[in-house]
Amino acid sequence: MRSTAPLSFDRGVDQVEGMMEQGTAFAYVEDAIDAAELSEDLKAGLWLLAWSHRDPVRQRRDARLALAGVRPGGD
């Protein structure tokens, strides 16, 4: 795992965008957001920001997989 400064309230947006622009794996960015000592609302916003930097084809594929797992009979 890469070493990076913990996400902070005042720089979280810049930190997340920087990681995504540098090609940091999305899973690592998710872990950094999850580990941050920030409100759940701010974490959700940072996650959405990171998600918006992903390739649209991957976004759509992952969204469809997630939906398949929650629909009736999707187990």
* Average pLDDT over every residue of 50-71: 92
Pick 8 or 18 by higher pLDDT: 18
Q: What does pLDDT average to over the chain?
A: 89
Gap between the Cα atoms of 56 and 9, Å rounded: 27
Per-residue pLDDT band for 9 (boundaries 50, 70, 90) equals: confident
- Residue 42's contacts (CB-CB under 8 Å, 6 or more residues apart) are 9, 12
Under 8 Å between Cβ of 35 and 3 = no
Question: From residue 54, how far is each of 7, 8, 27, 73 by CA, in Å?
Answer: 19, 22, 11, 29
